[in-house]
Structure 1
Amino acid sequence: MIQPTATHTFDLPAIERDLTEAVRGEIRTDIFSRGIHATDASHYQIMPTCVVNPRDEADCVAAVKVAAKHSLPMTARGAGTSLSGQTHGVGMIIDVSQHMDKLIEVNEEERWARVQPGIVRDRLNAQLRHLGLHYAPDPATGSRATVGGIIGNNSSGTRSILYGKAQENLLACRVLLADGTLLDLDACDWDRWCAKSNQENLEGRIYSRFGQIIAENRDEIEARFPKVMRRVGGYNLDAFLDDPGQTPWNLSNIIVGSEGTLGILIEAKVKLVENPKATALCVVHFDELLPSLRCLPAMLEHGPSAVELLDHYVIDEAIRNPATKHLCHFMEGHPKAVQIVEFYGDDQAHAASRAEAFAESMRQQGVGFAQAVRRDPKEISEAWDVRKLGLGLIANTPGPRKALDFVDDACIPIEHLAEYVERLLKVCEEHGTSAAVYAHASVGVLHIKPLIDLHYKEEQEKMRSIAWAAFEMCKEYGGSWSGEHGDGLVRGEFVRPFFGDQLYEAFKQVRALFDPRGLMNPNKILDTPLMTEHLRYGDAYRLDVIDATESRINYHYRDQGGFASAVEQCSGVGACRKVDVGTMCPSYMATRDEEASTRGRANALRMAMSGQLGPDAMTDKRMKDVLGLCLACKSCKTECPNSVDMAKMKSDVLQMMHDRFGLPLGYRLMGDSPTIARLVCGPLAPIVNWVQGLTPMKKLLEAIAGIDARRPAPKFATWSLQGWFRRHRKPKDDRPEVVLFDDTYASYFEPHVGVSAVELLEGCGYKVTLARAGCCQRPRLSKGMVRAAKKAGEKTLRNLDKYAREGLPIVCLEPSCASSLADDLPDLIDDVELGKRVAPQVMMIDEFLAAEAKAGRINATIKARFDKLMIHGHCHQKSLNSTQGMKDVLDLAENVTYHEVDSGCCGMAGSFGYEEFEVSKQVYDLRLGPAIEKLEPGEEVVACGFSCRHQLSDFSGLKAYHWVEVVSAENSNEPR
């Protein structure tokens, strides 16, 4: 077998030449692309030789033949959410997730679907929903996990107690072998099996010899394979113990769980099951962890569809984390553990009655201190969302010690589970650490994740010591060391001692049958190195280079402990690769390119800052490319369970690039746009507006500043908000004061929006003061002019501080201004207390009015200008604040109906849409564009972002309104 060493080299120019001639998909050989694919969701890292994104089966065959010609190992990859280190290797990464993601065929009557390996599990089920069917394996990463990856790992997920593993849901598959052979594998009766065995080719040798391997090892298979539901270690030889004359053998069963070591999955025929008609939950709360495990037999007597555990690590982080704190209403009080117990029913009443009966039984038996039944679909969804984000949540613990996956996948018989967990936690305590515990209590697969700092050798050895202690206990209880995450690199060391020498040799014989040269994902499952080798934070991770990088950073990253720690917060779980839901990450949703994901960017930064991508990698042109498609939407700060703020890190790295190469003219124009707008607004505006609309000027700006000529420039106003406000007749009565942050857009481009805001606030009974504090610095921050933003931004905050010290609310119209003032600038400036005083006073205008209305401090009649509204939320508003305030105030108006569209990002994102026109259009076309096409007659669009309104105008011709333009208030003048 080929060992994955850093010194192993191949003839890359020849490989690249042959691939270019044979493959139509993307071929990447630069060190940045390779580095981005060198890791997955595990704590391992192996630098590949090249990356191929095949467009179809023919591309896969061509790529594999090139690899075989050059004796280049091959590793198939989907979403890269593997926790055991299966999806990276020294050779060719074949990433099927970008293009090979189609639902090919559905047979509703027979309940099966034929799919390509790169299709995302949740996207598949969305396409099947109208049939009332779904693909059952449901790993927590289902929003991005590919079906090919689920099959490769033999994954299962939350409801395996009902539906089993991927193995039970795979009917047939098409596999590409290392020599280019394509095999179609399905259930064969004995006559057909024998006919295949008699063929004079590779397929014939596989069928003939495989049956012999089973016969030679039958007794050992029966004796050694664990008798638990969730077992995925080694190869599935136990699936072939039935008499083939009575029960057809299906070689798909040996492919599932093989982690790409036997062949590359090209197509899969998967079983479909009926969607549940109704569900209800009972959330059982516990004061301690172990009692929640001892009651599992009693819980399972009620036939639940799932029993999922969350311990205090997950609960505490879920309550604190921006990505989940709004989802935690399903819990009561402050439990140390909860069991989420799910029941299906024929209808909602039936499901709820089952949950209620279960809750009453638990109360009578004294199980838990609270048994909360949840029947509302929203609450049920929120509970499962928190559970799905469990891995990311526990990885978000502050500091270098992280909850790691190395004893996380054992399946222990239910009757021994509590004792096993108690003993393992004691082992962790003896090693000076603790562990998080959560997941599939129903089947005895608890993900136990000790906190380890892998930056240091002694901690790496501690990991191995804990693993071996846990392994011996697992064998003692008759469990399986691998329950659903597979062997990969982290558990490969244990395969021989678990199954014994005879079965280990049988595994090797099976592998050699399919892949005689050992080119398919070598050193996974078999012939693996020690679990402490090839670590992400291994010998190549140079802290001295990181220290040099830190010295050039401007933000403080106070919440994460510095820039390096902020980068390392990315655990690789890949939540940024979800599609069709949420906002993170717009450019990934548009391109489906790993490089465009938050994880891809974080991997590039991590490897660059530790010196693994060569000297000056932080300011390399490729780094600019990697960061270039980040829209700085800040959705990763809240939708990522690890709160990776890529927008902030991008700003810092751009500043480093400017220091090295100088500030590009286009960046200077965009960064200084507030100053330009202030100078142009007024009498000069018509002239400048006319000039910048001329084709020669557009072409010139495209050439010298990178502003796409297809994009209309926003028009400057002929009058300013400040000028209007000076002339405006202010209310004379003694009213509570509110400060309106007069941003650049409302001041010099769309002052009518500022006027509407002033009139709305006054109509609600407030005295309005314009902040006149200066720019929020968002334009400079977005273009990497961080030091200039720091200097000017501190002045802005000091100007606002006089209001903050008086306790006055500072309301914003532009979401990106609010996020800059409340989030970015406080972490950028050195004066911590200044930021702490100003940030809490900054809020969106709708958020302020909604809170005031709820407190009973608004005595006014709220009216809407239009009868029907569609709300599109700005990325920063959805990420760092909320769109709820707009809806709460609209609820006070009697003359309007509205809905908020799940539109993701509009694609403009400040200057991004002017520089990256094509990707900007792709993002718009994903969800916002289709939503606009479905507008009802008379329905108007609300979009609080200046960029959003212009994106809508550019691509649809539609005039969108700021929220303050569609709401009015008439003060009744009654005492407040």
Structure 2
Amino acid sequence: MSIAPSPARVPAASPVLTDTDEADAFVGELSRRCRGEVLTGRTLRGIYATDASLYQQFPRAVLVPRDEADVAAAVRVCAAHRVPITPRGGATSLSGQTFGPGLVLDFSKHMDQVISVDAEAGTAVVQPGVVRDRLNAQVAEHGLHLSPDPATGSRATVGGMIGNNTCGTRSVVYGKTIDSVISLRCVLADGTVADFTPCDDQTWQARARGEGVSETEARLYRGVRDLVLKHQDAIRTGYPEVLRRVSGYNLDEFVDGAGYTGDIGPRREHNQGHRTWNLANLMVGSEGTLGLITEATVHLEKLPEATALVIVHFDSLDASLRHVDAMLEHKPSTVELLDDIVIREAKVNPSTKAMCNFVEGEPAAVQLVEFFGDTPEEAADRAENFARDMAVRGIGYAHPIRTDPKGMADVWNTRKLGLGLISNNYGPLKGKDFIEDACVPTRHLADYIQKIQKLCQENGIDRLALYAHASVGVVHVVPALDLHHDDQVETMERVAEQAFAWVMEYGGSWSGEHGDGQLRGQFLPKMFGPELYGAFREVKSLFDPHNLMNPGKVVDADPMSEGLRYQVPGYNKRIAEVRTLHHHRSQGGFQLAVEQCNGVGACRKLGSGTMCPSYMATRNEKDTTRGRANALRLAMSGQLGPDPMAALAGDGVKGVLDLCLSCKACKTECPNAVDMGKMKADVMQIRHDRYGASLGYKLLGRMPDAAARIAGPLAPLIQLPLKIPGVRFVMEKLTGIDRRRPLPAFSSTTLARELGGRRPRSEVEAPRGPVVLFDDTYASYMEPGVGVAAVELLEAAGFRVTLADAGCCQRPRLSKGLVREAKQLGTQTLRNLDGFAREGLKIVCLEPSCASALVDDLPDLCDDGEEAEMGRRVAEQVRMIDVFLDEEGVELESSVGDTLLHGHCHQKAMFGTASTKRALGAGCTEVDSGCCGMAGSFGYEHMNVSEKIGEDRLFPAVRGAAAAGKTIVAPGLSCRHQILDFLGVEAKHFVQAVRVRGAATGVARTTATQDSSEAAGRAPA
């Protein structure tokens, strides 16, 4: 089947700017008339050229508006210069709504406020850039929430939800975003600011006459009324009768009996009934094509008093879909599908594997069925009755119930990461969203999916993942394709055309929640028919006569195969020129490691987790993992210049990578496991090869060499000149090391000297046998007291301790892009450790960043063959000391009373903090503190950002804990120094805060303890 061609496009008054002088005039006027940041550099424009969809289009410029006045001014400038304009929030769009060829407006940084909350009325007034979960955190104290709940709620903005008419998991109860919108304040295509509020017929007619509104608004009131009356028969019959329809414009909101009239979904008493004369209803779902939202009044639902969850396990996917209607008989709040691909990946993915204890056996699919209740008992009873009925009817083979908050949160967090999980497979074949959003009546769902499976098989698609909203007939179907190749693009088109035909046959909607954008725009003429589609074009022309508001979306869209991000001419050829020292084996090489980012934007979350700390501080898109990955992709594919290596080494890419802390949080918190820290190291080496490494990079990267030379009795004297202000000022100018930050200090003794006179333990004294302690640079030359405490703890636990004396883990060099040096020296470190590994001895680390280098970075630098095998052997034997003692069954207890734990970023990303918490016992509280902001040398070069990151969550928690008399425990040396530098609070390493249960207290310490205290707060980790 082929898609009917679109009618002729709505003509623009003049083409998009191409002349340089005219373009410069546009940017100049924009900069003069707007207070927000105007971004014009090619790299910065490039990271706004994509969203979470398959597409890419460079904008002419980007504006980050500060307020409504900026938005109105920008629209007027664009109108004068005939420049298209596209609004953007979290840019999690899967259909390609948030990019454009003209000016992109990023509402997410400044226009992100909750203006007011009326708890009694259950309403909130918000700016478009406020993140849905942040709004809900603020109104939760009133027992309220904005009820549409997309999986991207941690970064999806309310403006984006309105523009897309977002639905989410529980739409069977709460409906779509339109069911929560009361009124909107908008900037129209000519710069007019208008308030669209509910009104009766009399008020509508008064506004149409111009009473109390501008002439522009009056023209819209007249035009919409005339258009609706003219096409009311087509409107009444032309919309699919399914709850989840978000295609086209919402003209059905103005005609009784049009669109979905089923018995599920909410009743909108707060919005004056089902059909309302309210132009806001037309703006919802319009994807920025009719105007720009600057303020929204939204309805807030009461939070459910209690919930319970049943996980129904099936031996076949088909069975899980055949019984959806039987599940809906019990009136659940949702029924959500996860197939075996999602489940298998969730079991091994670092971001979800700890959450997957809800899966029993090897199901082909599970359905997550949730129930609300006025009390926990009622919710649990409903879940138990449901599970019992399913078992009696033979629906599913297992029906575990979760009623505890953590257990349910684990299930839902796994579900929310579904999109990332299915695209996190090795190799170039990735799940692609192009038929994922179809909605069909639930009675046809199993048949539709069965046909899609067969269709994909016939087209050579071997991997097909399915998940999401079975309760409303929206199962996200995601075939795996490699869209670098033309034949795969053709396959995508063939599959999409046939799938669309079946959706129409079943009376469904081609978009159930993700909207039209470019991806589905070409299908709308066939879906709605010529009259209704023509009415949509009339609406567009009425609101936007010059076709400048997000053109090419909803109506008059380009074909779905145009503008694909991997179809840039010569893309593969250019990438082949890029060579890196890391192999990026787990993802198939540097190219695939970069392209592992699919744009879902999990790195844009705020106030929770660690990724991405610099974005949380700056709120700039360039400081997200996504922004950095986009910059690398553009550079390596020749889009930032004809020479990929020169582009990667260039100032544009450097500016995007500068604030990456290499915290490795993206390696696990990103569902696609994008390891930006490792990629940054490679790109920095490419820059060093072209321009040379700076003095500051060399000093900080080679710090372990200096530590080994300086530490000892003369260390204080050698470092004395560095305390002179004038010397620090000159040093800042030469090296970039902030003169306000205390410098690294080396101890007047060393760990080897402190342990030199210790008698080796006998087999009787060490019944647990030998263990190797990796004596890192920090414990050896900066805080030997930590190393001594570790040896004493291990010996008290019954181990015979051998110092590795193997050399540095090379983390400092890696962090400064001295990767070639790190490869050479790190390979020798691994060789030195390999002897222990061959003996089967565990190699225990004190510093999380050292452990991560030994487990991940250095092995990936090893050349293929025996070197790689050596790296693998060593990595398998490396343990963090808390994990090692936990695995060995050593019973520990706190030696310092109640504690506040702050885990190091690398610890949280790769090893977890569970063992530390168990050892510290019930008196331990772990703060969701994100990154401390020090991150090795980062805090020395970016002190202001470093402080802001710390203030996000860590510093307030430490102040409160310290005031309460708790001991701060921070296994990372960087973290301990950050806390000391800014708060004056001395934190302890894990080994200084625990003892073997029942062991004597007050173990004598050597002079290393004093030296450790003196050195605290002075060394990068």
Is this a same-fold pair by TM over 0.5?
yes
Aligned partner letter, 2:901: I
Q: 1:90-140 CA distances to partner (integer Å, 9 max, x unpaired)?
A: 000000001110000111111010000000000000001110000001000
Q: 1:896-916 CA distances to partner (integer Å, 9 max, x unpaired)?
A: 711111100000000000001
Q: 1:594-640 CA distances to partner (integer Å, 9 max, x unpaired)?
A: 00000000000001100011142111111111001000000000000
1:933 to partner: Cα distance: 2.2
Residue from 783, 790, 802 that aligns with 1:750: 783
SS in 2 for 1:188: coil
Change in CA separation of 1:7 and 1:834 when aligned onto 2, cut-off 3 Å: farther
What corresponds to 2:836 in structure 1?
803
Change in CA separation of 1:5 and 1:772 when aligned onto 2, cut-off 3 Å: farther
Change in CA separation of 1:575 and 1:2 when aligned onto 2, cut-off 3 Å: farther
Residue from 196, 199, 202 that aligns with 1:188: 199
SS in 1 for 2:791: helix
- Residues 822 and 839 of structure 1 are in contact (CA less than 8 Å); yes or no, is this contact kept in structure 2? yes
**Rounded Cα–Cα distance in structure 1 between residues aligned with 2:757 and 2:111:** 62
1:231 aligns with 2:241: no
What corresponds to 2:599 in structure 1?
572
**Rounded Cα–Cα distance in structure 1 between residues aligned with 2:108 and 2:490:** 35
1:572 to partner: Cα distance: 0.4
1:507 aligns with 2:516: no
1:327 aligns with 2:355: yes
1:220 aligns with 2:234: yes
- Residues 17 and 83 of structure 2 are in contact (CA less than 8 Å); yes or no, is this contact kept in structure 1? no
1:87 aligns with 2:98: yes
- Residues 800 and 838 of structure 1 are in contact (CA less than 8 Å); yes or no, is this contact kept in structure 2? yes
SS in 1 for 2:312: strand
**Rounded Cα–Cα distance in structure 1 between residues aligned with 2:274 and 2:869:** 77
Residue from 424, 431, 435 that aligns with 1:407: 435
1:9 to partner: Cα distance: 5.6
What corresponds to 2:497 in structure 1?
468
1:932 to partner: Cα distance: 1.5
Aligned partner letter, 1:705: T
1:678 aligns with 2:708: yes
SS in 2 for 1:318: helix
What corresponds to 1:732 in structure 2?
762
SS in 1 for 2:741: coil
Residue from 127, 145, 167 that aligns with 1:134: 145
SS in 2 for 1:250: coil
**Rounded Cα–Cα distance in structure 2 between residues aligned with 1:828 and 1:5:** 50
1:12 to partner: Cα distance: 2.5
What corresponds to 1:280 in structure 2?
308
**Rounded Cα–Cα distance in structure 2 between residues aligned with 1:93 and 1:413:** 37
Aligned partner letter, 2:160: G
Change in CA separation of 1:630 and 1:712 when aligned onto 2, cut-off 3 Å: same
**Rounded Cα–Cα distance in structure 2 between residues aligned with 1:847 and 1:629:** 31
SS in 2 for 1:183: strand
1:451 to partner: Cα distance: 1.1
What is the TM-score with the length of structure 2 in the denominator?
A: 0.93
SS in 1 for 2:62: strand
Change in CA separation of 1:778 and 1:972 when aligned onto 2, cut-off 3 Å: closer
What corresponds to 2:117 in structure 1?
106
1:540 to partner: Cα distance: 3.5
What corresponds to 2:469 in structure 1?
440
What corresponds to 2:1015 in structure 1?
none
Residue from 56, 60, 63 that aligns with 2:74: 63
Aligned partner letter, 1:216: K
Residue from 941, 951, 961 that aligns with 1:925: 951
What corresponds to 1:159 in structure 2?
170
What corresponds to 1:454 in structure 2?
483
**Rounded Cα–Cα distance in structure 2 between residues aligned with 1:297 and 1:92:** 46
1:972 to partner: Cα distance: 7.4
Residue from 584, 590, 598 that aligns with 1:563: 590
Aligned partner letter, 2:46: G
1:63 to partner: Cα distance: 1.4
What corresponds to 2:1004 in structure 1?
none
**Rounded Cα–Cα distance in structure 2 between residues aligned with 1:706 and 1:310:** 50
1:733 to partner: Cα distance: 3.5
Unaligned runs of at least 5 residues, structure 2: 1-9, 258-271, 1001-1021
What corresponds to 2:1005 in structure 1?
none
- Residues 308 and 401 of structure 2 are in contact (CA less than 8 Å); yes or no, is this contact kept in structure 1? yes
SS in 2 for 1:708: coil
What corresponds to 2:268 in structure 1?
none
Aligned partner letter, 1:140: A
1:352 to partner: Cα distance: 1.1
Q: 1:15-53 CA distances to partner (integer Å, 9 max, x unpaired)?
A: 221122111111100000110000000010001000000
**Rounded Cα–Cα distance in structure 2 between residues aligned with 1:438 and 1:578:** 23
**Rounded Cα–Cα distance in structure 2 between residues aligned with 1:209 and 1:5:** 26
What corresponds to 1:837 in structure 2?
873
RMSD: 1.6
SS in 2 for 1:142: coil
Aligned partner letter, 1:783: K
Q: How does 1:576-725 map to 2 (within 5 A)?
A: 576-615=603-642, 616-725=646-755
Change in CA separation of 1:288 and 1:261 when aligned onto 2, cut-off 3 Å: same
Change in CA separation of 1:786 and 1:5 when aligned onto 2, cut-off 3 Å: farther
What corresponds to 2:181 in structure 1?
170
- Residues 255 and 275 of structure 2 are in contact (CA less than 8 Å); yes or no, is this contact kept in structure 1? no
1:781 aligns with 2:814: yes
Change in CA separation of 1:245 and 1:442 when aligned onto 2, cut-off 3 Å: closer
SS in 2 for 1:564: helix
- Residues 763 and 970 of structure 1 are in contact (CA less than 8 Å); yes or no, is this contact kept in structure 2? no
1:728 to partner: Cα distance: 2.0
1:732 to partner: Cα distance: 2.8
What is the TM-score with the length of structure 1 in the denominator?
A: 0.97
**Rounded Cα–Cα distance in structure 1 between residues aligned with 2:204 and 2:273:** 10
Report % sequence identity: 54
SS in 2 for 1:689: helix
What corresponds to 1:124 in structure 2?
135
- Residues 437 and 512 of structure 2 are in contact (CA less than 8 Å); yes or no, is this contact kept in structure 1? yes
1:247 to partner: Cα distance: 5.7
What corresponds to 2:861 in structure 1?
828
**Rounded Cα–Cα distance in structure 2 between residues aligned with 1:248 and 1:417:** 32
1:772 aligns with 2:798: no
1:287 to partner: Cα distance: 1.2
SS in 2 for 1:227: coil
Change in CA separation of 1:104 and 1:593 when aligned onto 2, cut-off 3 Å: same
- Residues 899 and 920 of structure 2 are in contact (CA less than 8 Å); yes or no, is this contact kept in structure 1? no
What corresponds to 1:240 in structure 2?
254
Residue from 407, 410, 415 that aligns with 1:379: 407
Aligned partner letter, 1:789: A
- Residues 313 and 394 of structure 1 are in contact (CA less than 8 Å); yes or no, is this contact kept in structure 2? yes
What corresponds to 1:547 in structure 2?
576
SS in 2 for 1:573: coil
Q: How does 1:955-966 map to 2 (within 5 A)?
A: 955-966=982-993
The count of aligned residue pairs is 961
Q: 1:569-602 CA distances to partner (integer Å, 9 max, x unpaired)?
A: 0010000001111100000111111000000000
Unaligned runs of at least 5 residues, structure 1: none
- Residues 196 and 207 of structure 1 are in contact (CA less than 8 Å); yes or no, is this contact kept in structure 2? yes
- Residues 872 and 900 of structure 1 are in contact (CA less than 8 Å); yes or no, is this contact kept in structure 2? yes
What corresponds to 1:911 in structure 2?
937
**Rounded Cα–Cα distance in structure 1 between residues aligned with 2:953 and 2:701:** 29
1:863 to partner: Cα distance: 4.2
- Residues 11 and 546 of structure 2 are in contact (CA less than 8 Å); yes or no, is this contact kept in structure 1? no
1:222 to partner: Cα distance: 1.3
Bigger CA drift: 16-25 or 132-141?
Answer: 16-25
1:526 aligns with 2:559: no
What corresponds to 2:418 in structure 1?
390
Q: 1:352-378 CA distances to partner (integer Å, 9 max, x unpaired)?
A: 111111000000010111111111111
Residue from 877, 882, 885 that aligns with 2:912: 882
Change in CA separation of 1:365 and 1:245 when aligned onto 2, cut-off 3 Å: closer
